[in-house]
Amino acid sequence: MNDNLAKERRKQRRLEKLGTNNPVCGICGERDWRCLEDHHVADYKRDDLTVPICRNCHRKVSDDQKDHPVFNPTADPMLDRIGHFLLGLADLLTLIIERLYVFAQMLIDRAALPEKDGAA
Protein backbone atom coordinates (compact mmCIF):
# COMPACT_ATOMS: atom_id res chain seq x y z
CA MET A 1 0.00 0.00 0.00
CA ASN A 2 2.86 2.41 0.77
CA ASP A 3 4.30 1.74 -2.71
CA ASN A 4 1.08 2.95 -4.32
CA LEU A 5 1.03 6.05 -2.15
CA ALA A 6 4.66 6.84 -2.95
CA LYS A 7 3.99 6.42 -6.68
CA GLU A 8 0.94 8.67 -6.49
CA ARG A 9 3.00 11.33 -4.70
CA ARG A 10 5.68 11.14 -7.39
CA LYS A 11 2.99 11.44 -10.04
CA GLN A 12 1.37 14.46 -8.40
CA ARG A 13 4.75 16.20 -8.00
CA ARG A 14 5.56 15.60 -11.66
CA LEU A 15 2.14 16.81 -12.84
CA GLU A 16 2.50 19.92 -10.68
CA LYS A 17 5.94 20.60 -12.16
CA LEU A 18 4.58 20.11 -15.70
CA GLY A 19 1.69 22.45 -14.87
CA THR A 20 -1.12 20.15 -16.04
CA ASN A 21 -3.00 17.01 -15.04
CA ASN A 22 -3.00 15.85 -18.68
CA PRO A 23 0.52 16.35 -20.01
CA VAL A 24 1.36 15.34 -23.55
CA CYS A 25 4.52 15.59 -25.63
CA GLY A 26 3.82 18.24 -28.23
CA ILE A 27 6.02 16.41 -30.72
CA CYS A 28 5.22 12.69 -30.56
CA GLY A 29 2.07 12.58 -28.41
CA GLU A 30 3.53 10.58 -25.48
CA ARG A 31 1.16 10.86 -22.50
CA ASP A 32 2.90 8.89 -19.74
CA TRP A 33 3.76 11.39 -16.98
CA ARG A 34 6.90 9.40 -16.14
CA CYS A 35 8.31 10.08 -19.61
CA LEU A 36 7.66 13.84 -19.79
CA GLU A 37 10.03 16.69 -18.96
CA ASP A 38 10.09 20.45 -19.28
CA HIS A 39 12.17 21.73 -22.19
CA HIS A 40 13.55 25.28 -22.20
CA VAL A 41 12.75 26.53 -25.69
CA ALA A 42 15.44 29.24 -25.80
CA ASP A 43 17.93 27.22 -23.68
CA TYR A 44 17.70 27.22 -19.91
CA LYS A 45 20.35 29.91 -19.54
CA ARG A 46 18.42 32.43 -21.61
CA ASP A 47 14.71 32.10 -20.77
CA ASP A 48 12.37 30.35 -18.33
CA LEU A 49 9.70 29.41 -20.90
CA THR A 50 9.29 25.64 -21.03
CA VAL A 51 7.14 23.12 -22.91
CA PRO A 52 6.46 19.53 -21.85
CA ILE A 53 8.03 16.96 -24.17
CA CYS A 54 9.01 13.33 -23.70
CA ARG A 55 12.55 12.35 -22.80
CA ASN A 56 13.31 11.01 -26.28
CA CYS A 57 12.19 14.18 -28.04
CA HIS A 58 13.91 16.24 -25.33
CA ARG A 59 17.23 14.55 -26.07
CA LYS A 60 16.88 15.27 -29.79
CA VAL A 61 15.92 18.92 -29.48
CA SER A 62 18.47 19.58 -26.70
CA ASP A 63 21.19 18.11 -28.90
CA ASP A 64 20.11 20.42 -31.72
CA GLN A 65 20.48 23.38 -29.33
CA LYS A 66 24.18 22.54 -28.97
CA ASP A 67 24.62 23.83 -32.53
CA HIS A 68 23.17 27.25 -31.68
CA PRO A 69 25.50 30.24 -31.32
CA VAL A 70 27.39 30.35 -28.03
CA PHE A 71 26.86 33.04 -25.41
CA ASN A 72 28.15 36.45 -26.49
CA PRO A 73 28.57 38.79 -23.48
CA THR A 74 28.59 41.88 -25.72
CA ALA A 75 25.32 41.00 -27.50
CA ASP A 76 22.06 42.84 -26.82
CA PRO A 77 20.43 40.54 -24.20
CA MET A 78 16.88 40.99 -25.49
CA LEU A 79 17.75 40.35 -29.13
CA ASP A 80 19.91 37.39 -28.10
CA ARG A 81 17.04 35.89 -26.08
CA ILE A 82 14.54 36.36 -28.91
CA GLY A 83 16.98 34.91 -31.45
CA HIS A 84 17.63 31.82 -29.32
CA PHE A 85 13.91 31.42 -28.66
CA LEU A 86 13.24 31.42 -32.41
CA LEU A 87 16.02 28.89 -33.01
CA GLY A 88 14.59 26.67 -30.26
CA LEU A 89 11.11 26.98 -31.71
CA ALA A 90 12.46 26.07 -35.15
CA ASP A 91 14.09 22.96 -33.64
CA LEU A 92 10.75 21.90 -32.13
CA LEU A 93 8.89 22.58 -35.38
CA THR A 94 11.45 20.57 -37.35
CA LEU A 95 10.71 17.49 -35.23
CA ILE A 96 6.96 18.12 -35.51
CA ILE A 97 7.22 18.40 -39.30
CA GLU A 98 9.10 15.09 -39.44
CA ARG A 99 6.24 13.47 -37.47
CA LEU A 100 3.68 15.04 -39.81
CA TYR A 101 5.36 13.48 -42.85
CA VAL A 102 5.32 10.05 -41.17
CA PHE A 103 1.68 10.42 -40.15
CA ALA A 104 0.63 11.62 -43.60
CA GLN A 105 2.36 8.65 -45.25
CA MET A 106 0.66 6.25 -42.81
CA LEU A 107 -2.73 7.70 -43.76
CA ILE A 108 -1.99 7.44 -47.48
CA ASP A 109 -0.82 3.83 -47.04
CA ARG A 110 -3.94 2.98 -45.05
CA ALA A 111 -6.18 4.60 -47.67
CA ALA A 112 -4.63 2.33 -50.31
CA LEU A 113 -5.53 -0.88 -48.42
CA PRO A 114 -8.41 -2.84 -49.93
CA GLU A 115 -11.66 -2.57 -47.97
CA LYS A 116 -12.78 -5.63 -46.02
CA ASP A 117 -16.09 -7.23 -46.93
CA GLY A 118 -18.96 -5.60 -45.09
CA ALA A 119 -16.95 -2.53 -44.16
CA ALA A 120 -18.59 0.75 -45.00
- Write out pLDDT tens, residues 72-113: 999 999 999 999 999 999 999 999 999 999 999 999 999 998
- Over residues 109-120, the mean pLDDT reads 77
**Interatomic CA distance for residues 91 and 89, integer angstroms:** 5
The predicted structure's pLDDT at residue 48 = 86
Residue 113 DSSP label = S
What residues have CB less than 8 Å from 36, skipping those under 6 apart? 14, 18, 23, 24, 25, 30, 52, 53, 54, 55
Q: Does 120 have pLDDT greater than 60?
A: no
The predicted structure's pLDDT at residue 39 = 93
Which amino acid, residue 15?
L
The pTM is what?
0.79
